[in-house]
Amino acid sequence: MTEPDRAPVGVLALQGDVPEHAAAVAALVGAKRVRSVLEPADLSGLGALLLPGGESTTLSRLLDESGLRDPLIGAGRGGLPLLGTCAGIILLARELEPSPGGKDPLPLGLLSVRVRRNDYGRQAESFEAPIPFPDLPGGPFPGAFIRAPRILSVAPPARVLAELKGHPVAVREGSVWGLTFHPELSGDLRLHRLFLASAGLLP
């Protein structure tokens, strides 16, 4: 059995910001412990899994085509630490606000939030903003919002970790974390470190 502090860290590698998340994780635990997750067998023995940003409807379809959807739901319900960023939180959400005239992805239902896709605007309206995190040492975190979703509501047992202008942008429910922004693009490893430490994968 893999010891927690030696377990590999998975990055869902179906589409999206996979190299950026893999690089952030590798900087913290070493490249040999980073595993690309492409099929159900790749979930075996993981200490944690990151769900990167990307295109949520494409990611949802690829979860079905790869056979990962049900095993991933089972792993999440079984306590596997999960971190979803941008499109990743859309996938993790319990409920999505329907998009006007659009086909929405089927969420995994692992995080007690209601989310609306692309609510901060189009690609051209992307922005960066300092995010105050009460539990994160070192001051505000540099958040990159790119076609970002908005968290409309948070239900217990999920709790808000951080807000921006009165709106939740980071939520945690047990071992499942969701962020509406892209920490992997910031050059700041503090949130990856905090997540991995909470999973017992870092001191």
- Catalytic residues, which ones? 86, 182, 184
- At CA 199, angle to CA 37 and CA 174, rounded to 5? 100
DSSP-derived secondary structure for the chain: ---GGG--EEEE-SSSSHHHHHHHHHHHH-GGGEEEE-SGGGGTT-SEEEE--S-HHHHHHHHHHHT-HHHHHHHHHTT--EEEETHHHHHHEEEEPPPTT-PPP-----EEEEEETTTT--GGG-EEEEE--TTSTTS-EEEEESS--EEEEE-TT-EEEEEETTEEEEEEETTEEEESS-GGGTT--HHHHHHHHHTTS--
β-bridge partners, 108: none
Cα 202 to Cα 56: distance, rounded to the nearest angstrom: 29
